[in-house]
Amino acid sequence: MSSHEHPLGISFEFFPPNTDAGRDKLIHVRDELAARKPRFFSVTYGAGGSTQARTREVVRAVGESGITTAPHLSCIGSEKAQLRDLLAQYREEGVDSLVALRGDMPSGMGSIGELRYANELVEFIRTETGDHFDIAVAAYPESHPQAPNLDKDVENFARKMKAGANMAITQYFFTADAYFNFVDKARALGVEQPIIPGIMPITNYTKLARFSDACGAEIPRWIRKQLESYGDDSEAIAAFGTDVVSRLCQRLLDGGAPGLHFYTLNQAAPVLKVVDNLTD
């Protein structure tokens, strides 16, 4: 770790904004978060190329901070030639880290593409570009929604790590033991690379509940009940959310998690409140 890096090994994820105002705001958020010396930033990508151009643009803008900035890249719905071009463009632009994903098929889109799973994408990137890129992949402590069970999903996860990924970032979760259990299972299958917990701040109950249903992340009943009781009181939700998420992060770090990756949703304050509560 460089002496300039935050001691807890934090990283921050953004999505490409749709509007000029959103882009301007993101630059401020980037600067606030860059001041905490993260290991890296990452920028999400819409499967099927829907945000491909915007992801590249935002990677450039975020990368001007001087912090390593990793584009997410998904393979579903893409042909190898398109992926090859995109990898070449990223190399030319000085990008040396990627988050490699299968992605989800947007509704109404036709062909699945030439690569079916993330392990095939990781293999493809290694074949095409050798060791140029540091590659992160996704992990699901509560199991990917399409997997028949957790053990099968961990086997598939181990396959993509062995295809040449350098590390993994998890889907968010609110139960620390789900993470430790997943890490134990992955280690038992010979996975040695770091598995970084993905952390979602709690700021808006309705959105969080909708999103969690879609991606298969469980909000424990006691958290759900407490958040429901606050109704529209956004201050109470934020205070409770900061407390719950800070305690989760501290438990993860105390239990050996090798860093924390924050889903910022392009907002600095909720994440910084958590980061400032944590100790080495």
Nearest CB to ligand FAD, comparing residues 90 and 240? 90
**Nearest partner of 167 among 197, 123, 127, 130, judged by Cα:** 197
CB of 177 to ligand FAD, least distance (A): 18
Find the catalytic residue in 5, 13, 123, 218: 13
CB of 233 to ligand FAD, least distance (A): 30
Burial class, 254, CB count within 10 angstroms (exposed 0-12 / middle 13-18 / buried 19+): exposed
Query: Which spans of this chain sit near ligand FAD (rule: CB under 6 A)?
Result: 44-47, 72, 74, 99, 101-104, 117-119, 138, 144, 146-147, 153, 156, 159-160, 169, 171, 198
Count helices and strands in the chain by DSSP H and E runs = 10, 8
Nearest CB to ligand FAD, comparing residues 117 and 180? 117
Segment (H or E) for 73: strand 69-74
What long-range pairs does 233-237 form, CB within 8 A, spacing at least 24? 234/203, 234/204, 237/202, 237/203, 237/204, 237/205
User: CA 122 → CA 40, 76, 92, 136, distances in Å?
Assistant: 20, 13, 20, 9
CB of 45 to ligand FAD, least distance (A): 4
Within 75-220, strands assigned E span 97-101, 134-139, 167-172, 195-199
CA distance 199 to 216: 15
CB of 174 to ligand FAD, least distance (A): 15
Phi, psi of 162 (to 5 degrees): -75, -20
Q: Is 64 a catalytic residue?
A: no
Q: Which residues of 37-68 are buried (b: 16+ CB within 10 A; e: fewer)?
A: ebbbbbbbbbbbbebbebbbebbebbbebebb
CA distance 100 to 81: 16
CB of 279 to ligand FAD, least distance (A): 25
Nearest CB to ligand FAD, comparing residues 159 and 247? 159
Nearest CB to ligand FAD, comparing residues 172 and 240? 172
CB of 119 to ligand FAD, least distance (A): 5
Q: Is residue 73 within 8 Å of residue 100, measured between CB atoms? A: yes
Catalytic residues: 13
